[in-house]
Each structure stands twice: as C-alpha cells, then as structure tokens.
Amino acid sequence: MKASTSWLGTSYRTNVPYRHGAAAENVETPVSTILVVDDDHRMRQSVKELLSAYGYQSMTADGGAEALRILGEHAIDLMLLDLNMPGVDGYQVMQQVSEKHPDTDIVVISGETTFESATEALRCGAQDFLRKPYAPDRLIQILNGLLQKQQIEQNIRDVKLRLEASEQRYRFIVNNSPDIIYMLDGEGCFAFVNDRVFELLGYKPDEIMSRHYSELVHKEDLEKARYAFDERRTGRRASHNIELRLLCKDSSLPYRYFESRSITIELNAMGMYGDKAEEKNRQKGFIGTYGVARDISERKRAEEVINFQLYHDLLTRLPNRALFRDRLNHAISQARRNDSQLAVMYLDMDRFKVINDSLGHLAGDQLLQTVASRLSTCLRDSDTLARVGGDEFNLLVPDISGREDVVRIATKIFEKLKLPVDLEGCEIFISFSVGIALFPQDGATMEALVKNADMAMYHIKSHGKNGYEFFSDNIKGLYQQQLSMENGIRRALEEDQFELFFQPQVEVNSGRICGMEALIRWHHPERGLILPDDFIPLSEDSQLIVGIGSWVLEAACRELRKWSEAGAVDVVMAINISAVQLEQQGFAQSILETLQRHGLSGNRLELEITENILMRDMDRAVLELRKLAGRGVRVAVDDFGVGYSSLGYLKSLPLNTLKIDRLFISEIQSSQGNNSIITAIIAMARELNLDIIAEGVENPVQMEYLKALKCPKAQGFLLGYPISASDAMLRLQQVVP
C-alpha cells in the first residue's frame, strides 16, 4: 500500500474525506483505490456499486491482462481478484503482483470451493479468500481490516524512515558542528565525543573515549569543572554554563578557552530518559552528562587585547591615565590604613615638539619608547609609571619614608635620561621637568595630588626646565594668581574692558605719519591699567589670545574706517599676530571678511609677526600669509634680528616690511657711530626691496643716525607715545591737508 498519511486522518492519496459505513459497525472507512478483477460483467458492476456505497474508489478489469495493465499505470491499494479467468488467470496475476507490486494486497473472490484452491491462493500471496456468493458485510469487514493493516505497516515504515533520516541529520550536525559535543558517563569519563575535538584540541575521538574529563581540564579550572560535571542534580537545576580551559595535545598551544553548556542525563523507573523532574514520587537515576563546548579562544584573546588597550598606552606599553589613577586610588587607601606616605611625580619632556617636528613623528615615537624603557629601569616593582599624554608621564611611588626617597629616585631618573638617544643616526640629548607632590601633606585625594604635581612641574619648566620641584604653597599661590588672571581675561572680553592705543609710525625725512601700530591695554576694574606684557604671554598659553586677536582686529578696522572717513586714506594700520592665531583654521579668511565688512582694502592693514612664529609651522604660515598677500594685506617681521637664525624665510614669505628690533637702536650712542648690524639689515632690506621701520627711537641722536643711513621709517617715544583712539584721530586730522 502506498499510503502517505495516517489511517485515522485522511484518505491515502485522493484526499477524499472519510465517511461512516452503516454496515461496518460505524468503522470509519477511508476512500482507497481498489481494483475489481472479474470476467463476469455483472459481478464487476455489483462489487463496484457496493464499494461506492461504502465510500471506496474503485476500478474494474475484465481479466488478468487488463488488471496487469492497470497496475502498471495506477497505484492500487487492494485488488479483489477472481481466479478462473480466460487468458491470464488469477494465479498468474498474483505472481506478477508479488514480483512487481508488493504493496498491493489481494483478496481472492472465487467460486472455487475446494480447500486446495484457497490454500494455493493464500500461498500465492492472497491476504484472504472469499467464496462466491458472499455477504457484503463480510467483504467490507475484510477490506477495512486489510486497509487498516496497510496503514499500520505504512506508519511503521514512515517512523523508521524518519528515525533513519533523523539519525543521519544528527550525525551530520554533530560531526560538522563548530563546537565539541560530548557525553560523559556516570563516572565522568567520555562516552562520546564528535570529530571537532581533533581540530580544536588535536585529539582523535578514540584517544579521548573512556578518559576522565579532569585529564583535559586546566588545573586552575578543575573546581568549576567538578561543579558542572560531578553535580548529581537533575531537572531544572541540572544545566550548567561555565567557562574553562581545555588542554591541547600540541604543546605549542597549551590550552584553548571554551564555554561549556551541559545537562545531566537521568533514567526513570521504566528505563526511559526523564524530562519532568518536578513530578513527585518519580524514581530517577543519574547516568551521566550531555554537553556542548564552544571554542571562545578568539573572543577571550580579543577581550584581553581590548582590556589591555583600555588600560595601557599602545606605543610604550605602559599603563595609561585610567590604570594609573586606579592604582593611585588603591595606594592612597593603603597609605591611609598603614599611616604611610607616597609620592606622585609628573614628568614632562622638554623640547619634545621641536624634536618631533624636526625628525618626524616616527622618530618621536621611537624616542618615547626609549624614554619609557629607561624610566622603567629606575623603578621598584611596587612603582607605577604611566604615559598620560604626548610627552607626559606620571609616576606613583608608594611606601616612602620622606622626601629623601623621592630625591634618590629623581636623581636616578635624571642620571638615566642624561645619556644621549640615537635616532636615525642623530644623537639627541633630552631633559625632563618633574613636579612632585607628596601624600598626605600635598593632597589627600588622587585629583589633588596629580594637580599639585602638575603645577610643580610647570613651575620648574618656567624656571629653566631640566630639573625637579616639590609642590609648595608658594607654587599654589602663583597658579591661583594665574587662574585669576585667566578668568579676568575672559571677563574682560565679555565686558569690553580692553582698549586700543595707537603709536605713530613716521617717515624719517618728512616726519609725516604713514602708519599706526595698534597696542592693546586692559582696564582692570581692580588693578587699573595693565600693559600687554603682563597678560599676553598667559593669553597665548591658555589659547585666549584667539579671542583677544579677533577683538583687536575688529576694533582696529573700526578705527581705521573712521580715519579714512576723516581723510587719512594713506595711513596703514599695523597689528600684532600671535603664532596661536596663525595656526587657527580659516585665519586668513576671517581677516579678509573683517576688512570687507568695514569697507577697507587689504593694503591698509599690515600684520606684524615675530621670527619665532616661523619656528612652529613655517609651511602653514607661508600658506596663510600668501592668501592675505594676494588680497593686498601687508606683512611685517617684528623684532627682526633677535629671533630665527635662518634668513631663508625672507624669500619664502610674502614680506613687505622689516622692523629693526629696539635692542639694536638702543646701542646707537652718536650720530657718527658705526652700528654694523643696523647697516647690514638696512642694506639687506633694500636688496630685497623691503620697507624698513626702526623701533624704539627715543632720542635725536638715534634719529640722526637713521637719517644718515637713509632708513625710511621709524617708531618710538621720540616720535610719539601710544595714544588713545580719540587722540590718534586728532593727531591725524592735524596732518591731513
């Protein structure tokens, strides 16, 4: 029978619904394909009508030959076969069915009444023998019994096929799983392990079978393994999820990390696997453990790398700021408990930026690695050295008895660092500025100690560098004053406390005012008038110079516009530019926009830069200044002769003016004297077609000397003190024709 569905569910192939047969004691009979084979036409028709009345689907054949033909073309569940037929008789049909259609059951319906005929028919494969004439109920009863038997057999075959397919799938999945799948017996020995164990641990499955799990588990993880594999709990608490290390066969790789999920196996009193441990009065028995072990070695290594990156500097492999502060907090707690002292040292390399810019960042990185290595050799095991910035290091020195211990370590550090470092064949000498804060006298918290050590470091850096300094109240006072000054500058910008003064620049021969240099003053509400030398350096260090520079440019252009409207259309406004301003993104564009906003042409503005600005970023300075020069803005080098040693920049920059530093002018003692430096600067400027302004002219002797050298322009107290905007307007109106 070729049934594909349940006897109690649907029909075999035609999906015709079941019906209830009245003559079969209400037994549900499925619609099946039945072939009626008889040479008697009336018999065929009567049987067909009977089958139809009981909901069976049937076909008829008038003889054995036609029956075999139909069998070759259609799936027949059951055949009602007459024995005595002309041509191919019933015995021959049964022989063909037995050989070619074994799933088709046969019921012989024959007029033969001898016992031998029935026996022969059953021997040839008939399932039953019914003599003519027969009772219809008897026929239906036989059919129902045979079809039900067919369905049961088909169900058994289906279950067997499903089991075989399931086992194949299971074996395929298990042996091709990326995880190790295993089973331990009640003693903890391997009863099964899949092929994956060879790829991950190097063992063939046969090498592991019957071995105890403890032989493969790392000794430090045995306790966790015993909890998972030796625990005899069952039911809901039977599963365990642990991480452990399993030993590899290859010694080059000692172990791998695994995440193991396991569950205990139990049998109930019937010898079947149990799965309802919550049932009461249920007998059960522990027989072993099922488990899946997933390789998480890559994840663990990634976690270790990530953890290292979180708490270490990747360049020097030293602890970073986060790890340093964690250890410092721990050391402070211990020092409190033990009533001991510790020191925090803040180390900053001197001139690192110059070295980095001169030799390149790769050389700078190599230098930092060398420094880190040397510093590490000066430390005890309990000390912690961390890189907390580009060239900044923090050092924690716990368990000290006093300053003497710290001085010894600092001395040792400076001895190590005074040796030259070879970078790409270039011998480099380095130095450090070191600030030191002690617990508990210089701070009781991590933040206070690091901040105070930082202040001490900056104090030594501002007083010559290359040394160490202990934190003191005096240093704290200086930095509080500096902080107060920074806050005051911010308020000055917000409350418009700044004012521009203007110092005339005159033509030496005619005395005509040709320009004005804008000089900032600060009207402090408490300290009165503050000159730029007292707050500009701090403004540059704190980046506040950017805001001050923008204010100066805006105010100077506003005054220059007023002068133009008063008729002074040839006067050039000179303003000083800081290196910090020049490094700002969009520096040139902001100046051009300001000029345009006030309706001024570029040649009315002259930017004064110092030679030392060029030491920071020559290429960027040239790029920005050329943008401005292309729009007519003039460029002057202030304090020429006391800064940058190379004069190559004079051809690189779009310069208009050189301003001779007041130091050289102050050395002029008589009009007949000989100052070769001034003479050389003026001659060089003429050769380069540059304008000259002598700064700091304070007496007639200096003026006469400059006239003799034909210096075109000058500036100084002799020619005019810095004056307010209103006084500058009056001064210019006096000379406007």
The 10s digit of each residue's pLDDT in 337-350 is 999 999 999 999 98
**Domain boundary at 302, 335, 360, which?**
302
- Same-domain status, 428 and 494: no
- Same-domain status, 320 and 456: yes
Q: Is 436 in contact with 406 (CB distance < 8 Å)? A: yes
Position 269 confidence tier, pLDDT thresholds 50, 70, 90: very low
Neighbouring residues of 163: CB distance < 8 A, sequence distance ≥ 6:
none
- Same-domain status, 121 and 188: no
The answer to whether position 598 is within a domain reads: yes
Tell me the range of 21-30, 109-118, 400-409, 612-621 where mean pLDDT is highest: 400-409
The answer to whether position 507 is within a domain reads: yes
> Does position 552 have pLDDT exceeding 90, yes or no?
yes
How far CA 154 is from CA of 56, 98, 164, in Å, comes to 19, 18, 15
- Same-domain status, 282 and 348: no
The answer to whether position 377 is within a domain reads: yes
Give the percent of the chain with pLDDT over 90: 37
- Same-domain status, 193 and 242: yes
Among 255-269, 384-398, 649-663, the range scoring the smallest mean pLDDT is 255-269
The DSSP-derived string for 297-309 is HHHHHHHHHHHHH
Q: For residues 84 and 642, give the distance between their C-alpha atoms in angstroms, rounded to a whole number.
A: 136
Neighbouring residues of 105: CB distance < 8 A, sequence distance ≥ 6:
1, 77, 78, 79, 127, 146, 150
Q: Is 328 in contact with 449 (CB distance < 8 Å)? A: yes
CB atoms within 10 A of CB 428: 16
Q: For residues 157 and 160, give the distance between their C-alpha atoms in angstroms, rounded to a whole number.
A: 5
Mean pLDDT (whole number) for 392-398: 95
Structure confidence at residue 617 (pLDDT): 65
CB atoms within 10 A of CB 574: 24
Element (H, E) at 680: helix 676-687
Q: What is the pLDDT of residues 330-380, one digit of tens each?
A: 999 999 999 999 999 999 998 888 888 778 888 889 999 999 999 999 888
Mean pLDDT (whole number) for 92-104: 89
Higher pLDDT, 399 or 2: 399
Q: Is 621 in contact with 614 (CB distance < 8 Å)? A: yes
The DSSP-derived string for 640-674 is ETSS-S--THHHHS---EEEE-HHHHHT---TT--
> Does position 1 have pLDDT exceeding 80, yes or no?
no
Q: Which amino acid is at 426?
A: C
Structure confidence at residue 15 (pLDDT): 34
Mean pLDDT (whole number) for 651-659: 86
The answer to whether position 567 is within a domain reads: yes
Among 310-319, 456-465, 705-714, the range scoring the smallest mean pLDDT is 456-465
- Same-domain status, 516 and 663: yes
Q: Which amino acid is at 166?
A: S
- Domain with residue 143: its CATH number is 3.40.50.2300
Our count of domains for the chain comes to 4
**Domain boundary at 447, 471, 495, which?**
471
- Domain with residue 670: its CATH number is 3.20.20.450
Q: For residues 537 and 24, give the distance between their C-alpha atoms in angstroms, rounded to a whole number.
A: 114
Position 239 confidence tier, pLDDT thresholds 50, 70, 90: low
Among 147-151, 230-234, 280-284, the range scoring the smallest mean pLDDT is 280-284
Position 614 confidence tier, pLDDT thresholds 50, 70, 90: low
- Same-domain status, 320 and 401: yes
Question: What predicted TM-score, i.e. pTM, was given to this entire model?
Answer: 0.51
Length, in residues, of the chain: 737
**Domain boundary at 132, 159, 186, which?**
159
Structure confidence at residue 603 (pLDDT): 93
The answer to whether position 701 is within a domain reads: yes
The answer to whether position 307 is within a domain reads: no
The answer to whether position 172 is within a domain reads: no
Q: Which amino acid is at 91?
A: Y
Strand partners, 657: 636, 691
- Same-domain status, 386 and 449: yes
Structure confidence at residue 83 (pLDDT): 87
Q: For residues 640 and 647, give the distance between their C-alpha atoms in angstroms, rounded to a whole number.
A: 10
> Domain range spanning residue 680?
486-730
For the chain, the first-to-last Cα distance in angstroms comes to 127
- Same-domain status, 236 and 338: no
Q: For residues 611 and 548, give the distance between their C-alpha atoms in angstroms, rounded to a whole number.
A: 21
Structure confidence at residue 103 (pLDDT): 84
The owner of tokens 């200044």 is: 625
Strand partners, 57: 33
Structure confidence at residue 715 (pLDDT): 95
How high does pLDDT run on average in the chain? 84
- Same-domain status, 503 and 623: yes
> Does position 266 have pLDDT exceeding 80, yes or no?
no
> Does position 319 have pLDDT exceeding 90, yes or no?
yes
Q: For residues 618 and 630, give the distance between their C-alpha atoms in angstroms, rounded to a whole number.
A: 18
The answer to whether position 375 is within a domain reads: yes
- Same-domain status, 286 and 410: no
State yes or no: cis peptide before 722, omega within 30 of 0.
Answer: no
- Same-domain status, 382 and 461: yes
Position 289 confidence tier, pLDDT thresholds 50, 70, 90: confident
User: What does the DSSP 8-state code read for residue 32?
Assistant: -
Neighbouring residues of 543: CB distance < 8 A, sequence distance ≥ 6:
580
- Domain with residue 188: its CATH number is 3.30.450.20
> Does position 719 have pLDDT exceeding 90, yes or no?
yes
> Does position 514 have pLDDT exceeding 80, yes or no?
yes
> Does position 656 have pLDDT exceeding 70, yes or no?
yes
Q: Phi and psi at residue 303, in whole multiples of 5°?
A: -65, -40
